[in-house]
Amino acid sequence: MIREVLGFHAEVDPTVGGNGASPVFALAGCTDFNDKDNRVCGVQETTIHVSVDSWIGSYASTQNQFAKEYPRLAAEDLGSMGYAGEESMYVSRAILQAAYSESGLALDFYKSYNTTHHDPKKYFDSIHGVDLSELAKCNETDMSNPSRMGDYARYSGDYDGVVNQTDGSFAAKCDANNRWWFAPACRHNSSACIPVFTAGTGWKVQAMMQWSTAYGIPAAIAVSGGWSLFVKHVQTFRALHYWWVPDSTFIDMLPEQLIFARHSANEWLAGDKKTGGLGSYVSKMVSNNLRSKAGRVREFLCSFLPGNVFDVSHFL
């Protein structure tokens, strides 16, 4: 609509954002906005001006910190997309039904995974059936993000699950192949671990690590080595997995979100993610200079909500 109705030249940038914080850096002109170690910000004017469906709700602290450091480059939030998103750990309906029918075990509830009282592993596959070449290396994901892993170590107290780096920061302590991270409940025996898959840079990985440690879940967490492999892993293996809604990728599996302890906003803000997540704010974001470069586009985006019917000629 921006191109065909409003008459502006518009292109979709071919670089996919690595996580929900990507719009913060991409819209500010950071040339390597997916590089967590050196995003190269503040050296050139932005070439990306619009980001819709921005899952910024979980990255408010990142957005606020960037605005303090680069107040003239910080992206502008134009408001909600008209819906909230949810992201968490999910389990398929088939696994849920099998466990409940056989033993009355409710695998959509976090306490059902505590091996002191239950044996949830028998309803899941072994991690040893997964091709290691299809998994990302831990040090190439958020398992090596010093901020997230520092928070994990600090709030979980699981210093055996991390490695202290030479600069004093922490990274996840993965297996010898640098692919799987084992929770304390099965760290002594990987065959007893339930596979847990996530994607991207390791979406929600810190929270999943904290949930596993805090509630005794025998989890082995890995990041699939690409989107198609993530879909393959979730559809092929009886496993737990990251997912978000609204999204239809796994809709035929009828997955259910695991229910954790009630969300604590204060704890999450501090970096402690052992409680359940909360519906994420999904916004429309634009570059700081869009108002001066293409005011009509900005005005159009302010009013745009999916499903709404309105007269676009108002913006011409």
| pTM above threshold 0.85 | no
SS3 81: strand
So what's the pLDDT on residue 307? 56
Distance CA 158, CA 166 (A): 19
Q: Per residue in 218-259, pLDDT tens?
A: 999 999 999 999 999 999 999 999 999 888 999 999 999 999
* pLDDT bracket for residue 94 (50, 70, 90): very high
Write a three-state SS string for 248-287.
CCCHHHCCEECECCCCCHHHHHHCCCCCCCCCEEEEEEEC
Better pLDDT: 198 or 54: 198
Distance CA 1, CA 297 (A): 10
Average pLDDT over residues 298-306: 84
Give CA 50 to chain center in angstroms.
Answer: 21
Among candidate residues 278, 243, 252, the one with its CA nearest the CA of residue 264 = 278
Nearest to 289 by CA among 21, 31, 10, 46: 46
Distance CA 159, CA 48 (A): 40
pLDDT digits (tens, 9 = 90+) for 27-47: 988 888 777 677 888 766 788
